[in-house]
Amino acid sequence: MAVNDNLANALSLMLNNEKIGRTDCEVRPSFRLLREVLNILKQNGYVESFEEVEDGKGNRIKLRLTGMINKCGVIKPRFNVKLKDFERFERTYLPSRDMGIIILSTNAGIMTHKDAKKKNLGGKLVAYCY
């Protein structure tokens, strides 16, 4: 069976494992965007660790969850956001101003909305987590 959105599949797998109390999960296939999103989640305390395991079928990522995820998912369609429009999307996807992160793709790389505000950058919305 073909998977249409690998990032959405990976984030929903993480959320489902988090809800049933598992700390370890395995995501397949591994790709650059997923590794960068997981790195941001690790920096913000949502993922404890992850490592890529090579197999002959597109590789996989083993990750250890911290139990901090209440909800996470991708943002479809991937809206273009200017710096002044962040407020609207924060109200839509996050429960409060200080809780959670929105991950976006900018010309300086993938980062959280807080880092993008500090650097005065806009970009495309990718995912959210709180």
For each successive 10 residues of the chain (130 residues), what is the average pLDDT? 82 95 92 95 95 89 94 94 92 92 96 95 96
Residue that is last in its domain, among 65, 95, 111? 65
At residue 1, the pLDDT reads 47
CA atoms within 13 A on the CB side of 16: 9
- pTM, two decimal places: 0.91
Pull the structure tokens for residue 17.
């494992």
Query: 23 and 53 share a domain?
Result: yes
- Which DSSP string corresponds to 14-35? HHHHHHTT-SEEEESS--HHHH
Residue that is last in its domain, among 23, 47, 65? 65
Residue that is last in its domain, among 33, 50, 65? 65
Is 1 part of a structural domain of the chain?
no
At residue 2, the pLDDT reads 57
Question: What domain range includes position 76?
Answer: 72-129
Query: 29 and 58 share a domain?
Result: yes
**The one-letter amino acid at 32:** R
Query: 56 and 88 share a domain?
Result: no
Angle between helices 32-43 and 6-19 (to 10 degrees): 40
Q: H-type helices in the chain, by residue range?
A: 6-19, 32-43, 86-93, 113-118
At residue 58, the pLDDT reads 82
| Residue 69: its H or E element | none
State how far the Cα of 113 lies from the Cα of 100, in Å rounded to an integer: 10
Query: 77 and 56 share a domain?
Result: no
Pull the structure tokens for residue 28.
């397949």
What CATH code is carried by the domain that includes residue 83? Answer: 3.30.1490.10
At residue 94, the pLDDT reads 94
CA atoms within 13 A on the CB side of 107: 6
At residue 4, the pLDDT reads 83
Query: 79 and 110 share a domain?
Result: yes
